[in-house]
Amino acid sequence: HDTLGLFYSAKDNVRMSLFQAPRKTSLRPGVIAVDKSHKLLSLKTCDAVLEYFGEVFPHLRPIRVFISREEADRFAKSRPGTLSLPRYVWPLHYGDRLVLLGDSAHSVPPNMGLGVNAALDDCRALKEALDKAGDDLAMALPLYSELQGKEAQSLALLEYRHSLTPASAMFRQLTPLQRLDWHVEKRLRSMLRKLLPWLFSTEFETIPLRTAYGGSLTKVLREADALANTARAAKLALVATIVLAGVREAIRRGLVEVVWST
């Protein structure tokens, strides 16, 4: 099936990522992310699994096009794995004999497909450092750390932000006011991207494509930070406007008396 992307069910806080298969006859790989106490993990039969996914993702019906009975039965009998928080280390070398690349340098969950891209970019950066240092490891490895250290940090920060969704356990630990703030800021970021796409084009879902074609995660993070800061400024302006409008209305109705003194 040609459907590809990230699906989220607000009804049950379930997030499912479907990835493209190499051939139409191949099995479709995917990742399902839920909290460890989610009722999905208590389903024990093939029919219960198929019925559940058909209900929470009605746009994927018929669900058996996406999930066979064999896969549903295997899912019901399997033990779920856990995803750790994004991590990175610094420096990426120790002396002139040990260098860290790939998952040993930065570990992220698989739901964005960034692990392989980042590992390949580490290899590119190490080769570039070796070329610049004339294959002198004592010079090349510190240079590699300098080149890729910020990339590893940016990868972890971007993945952490991407993981903070209403389906995540981290989100449910926020206070109601923090959740409201998250939703307002997300809506404002979406509006800014639509109004000013030439300034704010960063979407977390495009990061794998950008890195695959030589993009810098540090640059992506800078763009994301600029978008977030602008959204926060817009949010503060919106709150100030609402408060000012409320004060003016209260003065008009005589609920508040303004006394000027010199």
Quick: pLDDT tens for 70-85. Answer: 888 988 998 887 777 7
Residue with tokens 């991590």: 87
Angstrom distance (rounded) from CA 71 to CA 64: 10
Band (pLDDT 50/70/90 cuts) for residue 211 is: low
**pLDDT at position 214:** 55
Angstrom distance (rounded) from CA 153 to CA 251: 51
**pLDDT at position 193:** 74
Of the ranges 59-63, 67-71, 256-260, which one carries the lowest mean pLDDT score? 256-260
**pLDDT at position 96:** 83
Nearest to 16 by CA among 28, 5, 2, 3: 5
pLDDT, mean over the chain: 79
**pLDDT at position 114:** 75
User: Pairing mode, if any, of strands 14-18 and 5-9?
Assistant: antiparallel
Asked if the model's pLDDT at residue 183 lies above 80, the reply is yes
Angstrom distance (rounded) from CA 18 to CA 28: 7
Average pLDDT score over residue span 221-245? 83
Nearest to 90 by CA among 162, 155, 139, 170: 155
| pTM of this prediction exceeds 0.75 | no
Nearest to 1 by CA among 47, 55, 68: 68
Average pLDDT score over residue span 163-170? 71
